[in-house]
Amino acid sequence: MLSIRNIDQYYGGSHILRSVSLDAFAGQVTVILGRNGVGKTTLLKALMGLVPIRTGAIEFEGRRIDRATPYERARAGIGFVPQGREIFLRLSVEENLRMGLATKSAATPIPSELFELFPVLKQMLGRRGGDLSGGQQQQLAIARALAARPKLLVLDEPTEGIQPSIIKDIGRVIRMLAQRGDMAILLVEQYYDFAAELADEYVVMERGEVVARGRGKDMESDGVRQRVAI
């Protein structure tokens, strides 16, 4: 589904991403772990076209997208849930969800599946995004990304600042989406136990480089917890 090959990215003269490569497959959760400041969020922004890469290639479904605009990547089938959620605080829940359908025709209905995944959103359709709790805002951000039925879902630290009960709900949804088999999920996460529970494959980054990778079930025996401990 997704193939990132030897990408390098710079901010000014600072070399942020160093020959980073990874793959994400349909029906699997690929988790990217690492301490703060190692380049995880920059990698996702590079994937989405929000920051340029200097060298390397990004392929989605076998097609190069590293020169495509962010909206072209979204239209191709990549859904992005950024760190900090970035929902529209003054818009209603319904309006936020409709923003996720921006690449579709105006007559496209909000998929009913979103309310099956996150029932609380149906009860709050008319409420402003800024009036929701942090956990509810995160559910809204994920639902917004899912509205256009992406083939690749990219999540940047979805558990950050979220209460445990909603973390469990988000984990359940991520696993359910992966098990359908038609979507690849790329997850950046600091919360080790959450990542280990979901990961089919893992990647560890340090100083802008991939320093370890393997199967999710091997994370503990591979010493990943120690690598990412703060």
> Is residue 26 one of the residues assigned to a domain?
yes
What integer pLDDT is reported at residue 13 of this predicted model?
A: 84
Count of domains for the chain = 1
At 204, list the tokens: 């560890």
How far apart are the C-alpha atoms of 192 and 66, rounded to whole Å? Answer: 30
What integer pLDDT is reported at residue 230 of this predicted model?
A: 65
What integer pLDDT is reported at residue 108 of this predicted model?
A: 86
Please, are residues 158 and 82 in contact by the beta-carbon 8 Å criterion?
no
Within 8 A by CB and 6+ apart from 12, the residues are none
| Domain span including residue 157 | 2-83+150-228
Tokens 């105006």, residue located:
106
> Is residue 112 one of the residues assigned to a domain?
no
Angle at which helix 134-146 crosses helix 164-180, to 10 degrees, equals: 10
At 172, list the tokens: 């359940």
Which phi and psi (to 5°) does residue 64 adopt?
Answer: -65, 130
Alpha-carbon distances of 221 from 193, 203, 214, 216, rounded to whole Å: 14, 14, 11, 10
> Is residue 206 one of the residues assigned to a domain?
yes
How far apart are the C-alpha atoms of 6 and 74, rounded to whole Å? Answer: 22
Tens digits of pLDDT across the chain (230 residues): 899 999 999 988 899 999 999 999 999 999 999 988 899 999 999 999 999 999 999 999 999 999 999 999 999 999 999 988 889 999 999 999 999 988 787 788 899 999 999 999 998 999 999 999 989 999 999 999 999 899 999 999 998 888 888 899 999 999 999 999 999 999 999 889 999 999 999 999 999 999 999 999 999 999 999 988 86
How far out from the chain centre does Cα 204 lie?
Answer: 16
> Is residue 98 one of the residues assigned to a domain?
no
Residue 181 Rama label (left phi>0; alpha psi -120 to 50; beta)? left
What integer pLDDT is reported at residue 107 of this predicted model?
A: 82
> Is residue 21 one of the residues assigned to a domain?
yes
Residue 143, H or E segment: helix 134-146
What integer pLDDT is reported at residue 163 of this predicted model?
A: 87
Per-residue b or e along 147-175, where b marks 16 or more CB atoms closer than 10 Å to that residue's CB: bbebbbbbbbbbbeebeeebbebbbebbe
How far out from the chain centre does Cα 145 lie?
Answer: 9
At 50, list the tokens: 């929000």
> Is residue 32 one of the residues assigned to a domain?
yes
> Is residue 117 one of the residues assigned to a domain?
no
CATH number at residue 206: 3.40.50.300
Side chain identity at residue 34, one-letter code:
G
> Is residue 129 one of the residues assigned to a domain?
no
